[in-house]
Amino acid sequence: MGWWPFSRKPRVLDEDPHLRGTRMWIQDLREVCERHYDDHAGGHQAVCDIREEWLAAHDRGEVDEALFEGLERRSERLLESEGGQWLAWLDDESFWNPGWREHSEEE
């Protein structure tokens, strides 16, 4: 009978897929870098590879502008670094926190 008050509502199968958030993108970048902690040249290539992923996600609208800029700032610092500086960025905990900004010397 159609009047039964305890019927289940049909599930919607067409839901938005889970999108990676800020912490996930930063964590993925950090894991890629730490896999190559002793080889900054290999790390640079890995950063370029994951950078392509977030560029594509940004083009699809899955990465907002603030996250995109933060990932770009981090990748620039990592790609510019050599040897000891590479390790210094990997060990800098504040570098891996959401909202990180490099302090300018003017402040």
Lowest mean pLDDT among 4-8, 17-21, 27-31, 98-102: 4-8
Alpha helices in the chain (DSSP H): 22-35, 40-59, 65-80, 83-91
Asked if residue 88 belongs to a domain, the reply is: yes
User: Encoding tokens for residue 25?
Assistant: 């993108």
User: Encoding tokens for residue 96?
Assistant: 């891996």
Question: What is the tally of structural domains in the chain?
Answer: 1
Q: In percent, how much of the chain has pLDDT > 70?
A: 79
Asked if residue 35 belongs to a domain, the reply is: yes
Asked if residue 62 belongs to a domain, the reply is: yes
Asked if residue 105 belongs to a domain, the reply is: no
- 95 close to 89: Cβ distance less than 8 angstroms: yes
Residue 106's pLDDT is: 40
Mean pLDDT of the chain: 84
Lowest mean pLDDT among 3-7, 27-31, 73-77, 78-82: 3-7
Distances (CA, A) of 84 to 67, 78, 88, 96: 27, 11, 6, 17
**What's the pTM value of the predicted model, to 2 decimals?**
0.76
User: What number of residues does the chain have?
Assistant: 107
- 75 close to 47: Cβ distance less than 8 angstroms: yes
Lowest mean pLDDT among 2-11, 45-54, 97-106: 2-11
Asked if residue 58 belongs to a domain, the reply is: yes
Asked if residue 31 belongs to a domain, the reply is: yes
Domain that holds residue 88: 22-94
* 1, HSE (Cβ side, Cα atoms, 13 Å): 4
Q: In percent, how much of the chain has pLDDT > 90?
A: 58
Residue 107's pLDDT is: 39
